[in-house]
Chain A
């Protein structure tokens, strides 16, 4: 198992397990949500033919997923990636929801 030596003081096994678990959830679920929202956003807002926009979204989604997963495990502190993923997903989700169900002005 990996040892965390970044801070000098060695954390407990439990702290380490929690840290890994948090990163797993972030990579798997956070990555998927970020990818799905990106796909939907590109499909809705790309200024090209609709079917093409949908396909462009699909094609790029897996790169987004992989990027989030890599950063989830690479970053020194998981909280930082949690913050940035949330900061991307929440406004994106809101904008999508409003644009689809909010009733256009």
Chain B
């Protein structure tokens, strides 16, 4: 197309990388954070501490609902994973939709006692932001993210074809050389975690494949419900008998489920039509219990606690899909592997960021009038600053809001989320009104200050500051605070780097003028 295969691929790589690059930055950054989703939630609910005991908490949650939600249509209990402590119970009254589940949600600690806890969406918000976006209908968000992921897949393939000397380039890192350094940085972050980038992009598409590519279902089945019954064993809900019924001890059912799964922990308990003689208890396997993440569900007779027919045996393709989704989410990963996931995610975020900056850096030299670039160039330049420094600052604001907003505030979780976008918006504004180089330095510096403030505010507003956490060996809280300091250092380094780069560029120009 553009003079040879490799040149065409270079062109393609540049444009698919740029067009949705800002969304890809968001997807990579929030996805990286989501690897520590449970730990983030723990930090954002400092009221909850103590041991983890899923059976005691499940029984506690059930007892609370038996007392306070007799006439409800459904009861649900979200059990803790290996990495969390709190258990959430919630119910749905007749006529309510699933979107209203928060109206009747409550938290239970490891001893089965209900605890008063600040309302927060915790790490869950960042996880959902990763593929649903925010303020837009979920389906739209997923289409946009899916399109971005498809662009990413094409960018990876074309990027590999473009770089003939991909492995030589990998060992080349030239500092302070303007565009060359950006290219080296882009190559390094891309190649360092190339298998990860490829895996994460493809499996990401697979997680939502039934939305993006549903066309196999109508081709093979008359009704979609039949496919879901075959593939995941979704049964129709039980019908009400009208006669009241009781619930056998939940702990026994949980133990039976654990046995059936050879020791794997249950993750979710769902009780439709509680209190009716026809009621059942559905127990779903925890998502962190296996590499395959599409948890199986066991159904028990509520009144007797007897297990009904076990779920269908899964075929090879279904297992492959389940493992691909599991690889993407990394819920199976023990701490060390989780940190590796996190590092690879950071490399991906850096890859997108350096790629975006490279676009402007490459073009700046070809500009007819470098003092007055054309509109598209200026737009990319400002969007880069607004996103690359703005989003991290927004995330810091989210954590700060968790500690600073009043405990019993109305719509507290919504305002935590709004804080993220307000912080991001403010910095985006700075990016638009300040001179470009100053804007980079100032936004990076503000973002660094934001992250530095998080452990400080935590220290002042809770009894679980960094020193206390270190003294009591509270790894989750200490690691969170230290990671915040790490983010601050990283962003501070970026600010310092850009600040000093200015001179380097000027000197090079002088040399060129002399030559």
Contacts and interface: CB of A to CB of B under 8 A. Distances in A.
A103 B227 CA distance: 22
A81 to B, nearest CB: 10
Contacts of A89: none
A51 B228 CA distance: 8
B389 interface: no
A42 B213 CA distance: 12
A56 to B, nearest CB: 4
Interface stretch (B52-60, B253-261, B313-321, B452-460): B313-321
B11 interface: yes
Interface in B118-152: 150
A57 interface: yes
A45 to B, nearest CB: 9
> Taking each of B12, B157, B227, B321, which has the highest tally of chain A beta carbons within 10 Å of its own beta carbon?
B12
B11 A2 contact: yes
Contact of B219 (A4, A78, A96): A96
Contacts of B12: 70, 73-74
B231 A51 contact: yes
Contacts of A65: 150, 153
Contact of B318 (A2, A55, A74): A55
B408 interface: no
Given A62-B205, A66-B153, A35 B213 contact: yes
Query: Which range holds the interface residue count of chain B?
Result: 35 or more
A73 B8 contact: yes
B213 A3 contact: no
A102 to B, nearest CB: 14
B206 A62 contact: yes
Given A4-B2, A36-B215, A62-B150, A56 B221 contact: no
Contacts of A66: 150, 153-154, 157
A18 interface: no
Contacts of A23: 1
A18 to B, nearest CB: 13
Given A36-B213, A40-B215, A55 B324 contact: no
B321 A55 contact: yes
A74 B158 CA distance: 9
Interface residues of A, number: 43
A57 B11 contact: no
A40 B219 contact: yes
Contacts, number: 136
B154 A70 contact: yes
A48 B315 contact: yes
B235 interface: no
A50 B2 CA distance: 44
B414 interface: no
A89 to B, nearest CB: 13
A59 interface: yes
B3 A6 contact: yes
Given A2-B2, A58-B213, A75-B1, A50 B205 contact: no
Contacts of A2: 1-3, 7-8, 11
Nearest to A56: B317
Interface string B189-227: 000000000000010011001101101111111000001
A73 B315 contact: no
Contacts of A75: 1
A50 B220 contact: yes
A54 B227 contact: yes
> Taking each of A3, A19, A42, A50, which has the highest tally of chain B beta carbons within 10 Å of its own beta carbon?
A50
Interface in B1-38: 1-5, 7-9, 11-12
A6 to B, nearest CB: 6
A58 B321 contact: yes
> Taking each of A42, A69, A100, which has the highest tally of chain B beta carbons within 10 Å of its own beta carbon?
A69
A49 interface: yes
B206 A59 contact: yes
B231 A55 contact: yes
B230 interface: yes
Contacts of A54: 216-217, 219-221, 227, 231
B261 to A, nearest CB: 21
Contacts of B316: 48, 52
Contacts of A37: 215
> Taking each of A19, A65, A78, which has the highest tally of chain B beta carbons within 10 Å of its own beta carbon?
A65
Given A57-B216, A58-B213, A4 B1 contact: yes
21 contacts: A2-B1, A2-B3, A2-B11, A6-B1, A6-B3, A36-B213, A41-B219, A43-B220, A51-B317, A53-B317, A54-B221, A55-B318, A55-B320, A61-B209, A63-B202, A65-B153, A66-B150, A66-B153, A69-B150, A70-B161, A73-B11
Interface of B: 1-5, 7-9, 11-12, 150, 153-154, 157-158, 161, 202, 205-206, 209-210, 212-213, 215-221, 227, 230-231, 315-318, 320-321, 324
Interface of A: 2-6, 19, 23, 27, 35-37, 39-44, 48-59, 61-63, 65-66, 69-70, 73-76, 78, 96, 100
